[in-house]
Amino acid sequence: MSDAFPSSADTVVIGAGIVGNSLAYHLADQGREDILLLDKGPLPDPGGSTGHASNFLMPVEHSKEITHLTRRSIEQYEDMDTFTNSGGLEVARTEERMAELERRVQSAAAWGEPGRLLSVEEIEEMVPYLNTDIIKGGFYSPGAGTCDPLRAGEVMRARADEYTDGGLTVSPNTTVLDLHVEDGAISAVETDRGTVKADEVAIACGLWSPKIAAMAGVEIPLTPAVHQMVSVGPISFFEDYEGEISFPVVRDMDTQMYERQHGNDLEVGSYQHRPILWDVDEIPSIDEAPLSPTQPPLTDDAFEQSMHDALEIVPELLDDPEAGVRHEIDGLLSVTPDGAPLLGPLQDVDGLWSCAAVWIKEAPAVGEAVAQWMTRGWSDIDLHGSDINRFYEYGNSRQFVKNRAHEGFQKIYGIVHPHEQWQSSRPLRTSPFYDRQDDLEARFFEAAGWERPQWYESNEDLLERYAEELEGLERPNEWDSRWWSPIILAEHLHMRDEVAMVGDMGFGIFDFVGEDACEFLEGMAVGRIDVDVGKTVYTPILAENGGFVSDLTIARLGPDHFRLITGGAAAGSDRAWFGSHIPENADVTMIDNSESLCTLGVWGPSAREVIQSVAEEDVSHEAFPPYTAQEVTIGEVDAWAMRLSYVGERGWELYAPMGQGRRLWELVEEAGEDHDVRPVGMGVYGTTGRLEKGYRLHGHELELEYDPSEAGLSFHGIKEADFVGKEAYAEALETEDAATLCTLSVADHAPEGGEPRFMLGGEPILDDGEVIVDEEGRESYVTSAGTGPTVGKHLLMAYLPPEYAEEGRELAVEYMGQQYPVTVEIAGSEPLFDPENDRIRS
Amino acid sequence: MKVLACIKRVPDTGAKIVLTEDEQRIDTSGLGFTMSPHEECAIEEAVAQVETHGGSAHVLTLGPPEADEQLRTGLAMQADEATLLETDEEEWSPRATADALADGIDRLDDEGFDLLLFGNESADAANYQVAVRVASELGYPCVTGIKDLEVEDGTAIAKREISGGEEVYEVDLPAVVTVKEGLNEPRYASMRAKMQARRQEIESVEPRAETRAGGLEKVRLEAPETDDSPAEILGEGSEAVPEIVEILAEEVEVV
């Protein structure tokens, strides 16, 4: 390990907390040979959040991504001999929480992590110092434990040095003064010890990350926030036990607190207090801070209720006459607008990466995954939920970060419904249809900042019209029907009978222009791109491992002009993916039209009559065949249309300049009056219509961990041209699939009588009471759930190993502590509704 | 026995102290507040004496409304009562502070306190005189810099460390004693005591002070120079020994 400050390096990692150490170590392991790891602070504890975290790892979360990252991190801490397996216990004080813990068991099973419910008696046995009078039960996670991240950092640095054969330089006490950017790419890091040239730089500075990113003119949306924590000791009860921890870490979920043994002390941490956000510029330097920059003094008044609650649940230990509060801090940690980490390339500066807002429990695996991403373009664990580009160009302002962090802080340990919507900083992105939709009492959901109607209260009258069809599909349970309305189902049925208008979907719309555009896109997509002008191509986009980066539609507008349309949630990451792959010197310009064009879908049996009545052009089947695109003039509005449908109906997606969107809406609404055209929400577009058609959704069915053969998206075959992921894709087509994406239906919503229940997604699929696992170790779980009103069934999508992927096969799904029989309806991608796609093609 | 501990709310600074632009104060944005370790010992001593002899322990400060945070620390350490002589944000001179304290002490209790404990000096201004002035105004004896204190039958035996030995004072109570860190080991407040302290009432009294000429006037503050010479790790375990020996012999010249 060298101490001399180098003048250049392959890679500079800024920040030597657990994240930076892990990243440096894994980069070395992945083959980077010349790495500079620097930090403003001293080692081993440079003064960031790593130095004061409570260091416990509870692996089970409702997010698969975070659960898998934590599990992998535990493996790494174990491998470095810095992990103590204590088990973890989440206790419930309320019945509502017990239901949530049942959901925890369900998520544990779905993500392959052990976990079970405990009775009060079992809890008493396991943790004798808890006041069980106030507890209804608990969730036990046997894999949980505690780690030593500072020691792990030392091990990682030593290993990185070994793997690089001395190629790691560690430079503590080094302040970054500036990041140099040349021609849109990172070129050097300027510090108080000198300037180091590098074309690859990772920001792993925890809550200081935004400050460092700003030096390169880019944004990392996080804010420092207080997590209050105290340590009480010496507690005589613990004197009989050796080692750091002999009892499970306890999370007192309803009070948003935890209590965990640490030697003779009990650490008491809280997230229940009012959100206390810090401005990064107000955090004192290492020299100015009495303890450490991230350990300001406890805000006493905010901690009062926490003390009350802690004394209630562990009275004997905390009332030990010898014990006092020996340590108390407002521990600072990073909070992001949605609570997830901020990982990946900062697309406005080539070579600059973010590795921020990572908890101790995920850090080793995040370092590994980001190192894989940096060195080979994809990670073993799909990181789409943590991709920093999900906030690109809308969610980086200080105000947004502050509002969402304020709101999100209160959700930590909370019971968060999978469809729960954010309330602050809204509306932020609105289409020109917004005011009209608001008049129609749209219930707006948000996606990538866009306001999208989920359903319209103004369509309530349809409930009566379709009462018969809806029988048995309404959801009597409050949880199942939260953030949902039966109006969605009625809107769906109306669309299938008449015609509906859907929009704006918040798509990412990117035009690629230039002589090399065709060749470039050909090299990015599984589908053949060099098609006739006017054709559209729906295609998977793969990483080199053959897993999904995205799935999207590319239309050819001209010989050297293509339009790529992708889902709003993936718009930022897709933009980064395509942008980073454009070869140097290639004649390709990417133009982001996402905020320039609005999108209005018009679909249903009467769609052609409606559109024809206002279009200048002939839109007959012959003149405007399916899966093609052309310019159309709708009334006064110059639009561009694609004839395709994500809901399986005849019709078009109309694209118009935002400024003319309002007029477009009015024209269609008026023209459709005779056909009772209704605006319908994303509930139809994204769920009911989609599931009846078996259409896949990125981030749900489509991830890096699955390939197109498994997803049933191999209809393109293998084209001649090279493209990213071709080799792996070809191999996937040849070998037998370890799993096949299937559509299942719920056979009985109340097998034991009582309230019928409706799954929401994320539930494990069982055979004979055991969760199904494929030969690659992937659990079968519900990737998407929703009701298909036309087929009259509640539909679930799930990957199943070949022995289960047979139509008619009966299995079970676990939901809220119960098992429900399900039937495999379709193995593969054939639609359940209109399998021949007659509606789209007529 | 009635024991009083007088404390002062001060910024909790690290190694480097940043001043406001007008050089009149420490820049406390981003910092918390505390009291000096001497004063923590004063509170501990007050509480411990009461635990031994019975009576009550009282904590007093002169400061802004926020100083109730430090008073609550005293209550959490098991002091019985706390009083705030409430000022605005401006720092009072030592003379005015002593005036107000002496006046406040008179008003607090008709019978007066038996023992008045102060920290030897405040952690920020370190004027070394408030306690002496209070003693003078109240007409009590005063001993300063005490690290060992015993109270028996109306008398205090106070010991002060001096080079090569110690000075022992015997004073009749009531008396003013200023104490130094090391006098005792201040307790960590229990969580329950901290919680109860938060709910306890703190009496707020308007201070009265005569402003007389001849007092000390603060012109400006100057931050002490920080020692930013880098620390160097010479090695780990026995491997580091030769280098340590060399430094001790040649640079420090002690071997």
Residue A680 tokens read as 């319908």
Contact B194 A325 (CB under 8 A): yes
Instruction: Return the axis-axis angle of helices A64-79 and A363-376, rounded to nearest 10°.
Output: 100
Query: Does some domain include residue A283?
Result: yes
- Decide which of A335, A350, A381 is a domain's last residue: A335
Query: Does some domain include residue B254?
Result: no
Query: Does some domain include residue B253?
Result: no
Per-residue pLDDT at B105 exceeds 60: yes
In Å, how far is B193's CA from the nearest CA of chain A? 9
Query: Does some domain include residue A512?
Result: yes
Contact A288 B72 (CB under 8 A): no
Per-residue pLDDT at B69 exceeds 60: yes
CA A168 → CA A4, A158, A160, A300, distances in Å? Answer: 11, 9, 6, 43
ipTM rounded to 2 decimals: 0.86
In Å, how far is B199's CA from the nearest CA of chain A? 9
d(CA B101, CA A241): 50
**Residue B134's closest CA among B114, B150, B117, B146?**
B117
DSSP-assigned beta bridge partners for residue A721: none
Q: Does B16 touch chain A (CB under 8 A)?
A: yes
d(CA A576, CA A565): 14
Contact B188 A284 (CB under 8 A): no
Query: Does some domain include residue A247?
Result: yes
Instruction: Return the axis-axis angle of helices A658-671 and A607-614, rounded to nearest 10°.
Output: 120
Say if residue A465 is exposed, middle or buried (CB neighbours under 10 Å; 0-12, 13-18, 19+): middle
* E strands in A29-175: 35-38, 56-57, 83-85, 88-92, 116-118, 137-141, 145-147, 168-171
Residue B116 tokens read as 């008045």
Residue A456 tokens read as 């319209």
Sign of CA dihedral A676, A682, A683, A688: positive
Out of B18, B33, B228, closest to residue A288 by CB: B18
Out of B13, B16, B195, closest to residue A307 by CB: B195
Chain B residues inside the 8 Å CB shell of A308: 195
Q: What is the pLDDT of residues A588-602, one digit of tens each?
A: 999 999 999 999 999
Mean pLDDT of A701-709: 95
Residue B109 tokens read as 């209790």
> Taking a C-beta distance cutoff of 8 angstroms, is the pair A314, B253 a contact?
no
Query: Does some domain include residue A413?
Result: no
What domain range includes position B177? 2-205
Contact B191 A311 (CB under 8 A): yes
Out of A285, A289, A325, closest to residue B191 by CB: A325
Contact A296 B190 (CB under 8 A): no
CATH of residue A556's domain is 3.30.70.1400
Chain B residues inside the 8 Å CB shell of A42: 231
Structure confidence at residue B212 (pLDDT): 56
Chain B residues inside the 8 Å CB shell of A285: 16
Per-residue pLDDT at B252 exceeds 80: no
Contact A296 B31 (CB under 8 A): yes
Per-residue pLDDT at A304 exceeds 60: yes
In Å, how far is B184's CA from the nearest CA of chain A? 16
Contact B192 A268 (CB under 8 A): no
- Decide which of A538, A559, A592 is a domain's last residue: A592
Residues A250 and A308 in one domain: yes
Chain B residues inside the 8 Å CB shell of A284: 14, 30-31
Q: What is the pLDDT of residues B107-159, one digit of tens each?
A: 887 788 999 999 999 988 888 999 999 999 999 999 999 999 999 989 999 99
CATH of residue A649's domain is 3.30.1360.120
State how many domains chain B has: 1
| Residue at A166: amino acid letter | G
- Decide which of A659, A683, A702 is a domain's last residue: A659
d(CA A581, CA A219): 22
Q: Does A376 touch chain B (CB under 8 A)?
A: no
**pTM of the predicted protein model:** 0.94
In Å, how far is B78's CA from the nearest CA of chain A? 12
Could you say which residues from 132 to 191 on chain A have a Cβ atom under 8 Å away from some Cβ of chain B?
173
Query: Does some domain include residue B240?
Result: no
Out of B31, B192, B198, closest to residue A311 by CB: B192
- For residue A67, report the phi and psi dihedrals to the nearest 5 degrees: -60, -45
Q: Which residue has the higher pLDDT, A721 or B241?
A: A721
State how many domains chain A has: 3
In Å, how far is A224's CA from the nearest CA of chain B? 12
Contact B191 A318 (CB under 8 A): yes
d(CA A68, CA A634): 49
Residues A241 and A98 in one domain: yes
Per-residue pLDDT at B213 exceeds 60: no
CATH of residue B158's domain is 3.40.50.620
Q: What percent of chain A is predicted at pLDDT more than 90?
A: 98
Residues A542 and A564 in one domain: yes
User: Chains A and B: how many Cβ contacts under 8 Å?
Assistant: 79
Contact A289 B14 (CB under 8 A): yes
Query: Does some domain include residue A331?
Result: yes
Q: How confident is the model at residue A177 (pLDDT cuts 50, 70, 90)?
A: very high
Q: Does A308 touch chain B (CB under 8 A)?
A: yes
Mean pLDDT of A162-179: 95
Q: Does A3 touch chain B (CB under 8 A)?
A: no
Nearest CA in chain B to A298: B32
Chain B residues inside the 8 Å CB shell of A320: 190
Chain B residues inside the 8 Å CB shell of A324: 187-191
Query: Does some domain include residue B79?
Result: yes
Structure confidence at residue B245 (pLDDT): 85
Residues A532 and A630 in one domain: no
| Residue A505, helix vs strand vs coil | coil
Say if residue B25 is exposed, middle or buried (CB neighbours under 10 Å; 0-12, 13-18, 19+): middle
Contact B198 A286 (CB under 8 A): no
Best mutation target among B33, B43, B187, B191 (most A Cβ atoms within 10 Å) is B191
- DSSP assignment of A293-357: TT-PBP-HHHHHHHHHHHHHHSHHHHT-TT-EEEEEEEEEEEE-TTSS-EEEE-TTSBTEEEEES
d(CA B35, CA A684): 63
What domain range includes position A125? 83-143+223-335
Q: Max CA-CA distance within chain A? A: 88
Query: Does some domain include residue B228?
Result: no
Residue pointed to by tokens 């300027």: A190
Chain A residues inside the 8 Å CB shell of B34: 290, 297
d(CA A258, CA A54): 10
Per-residue pLDDT at B220 exceeds 60: yes
| Residue A54, helix vs strand vs coil | coil
Contact A290 B29 (CB under 8 A): no
Chain A residues inside the 8 Å CB shell of B69: 300
User: From the centroid of its chain, how far is CA B5?
Assistant: 9
Helix-strand-coil split of chain B, %, nearest 5: 30, 25, 45
Q: Which residue has the higher pLDDT, B234 or A142?
A: A142
Chain A residues inside the 8 Å CB shell of B231: 42
B153 contact partners, CB below 8 Å, separation of at least 6: none
Query: Does some domain include residue A354?
Result: no
Query: Does some domain include residue A782?
Result: no
Q: What is the pLDDT of residues A754-801, one digit of tens each?
A: 999 999 999 999 999 999 999 999 999 999 999 999 999 999 999 999
Contact A290 B72 (CB under 8 A): no
Chain B residues inside the 8 Å CB shell of A310: 191
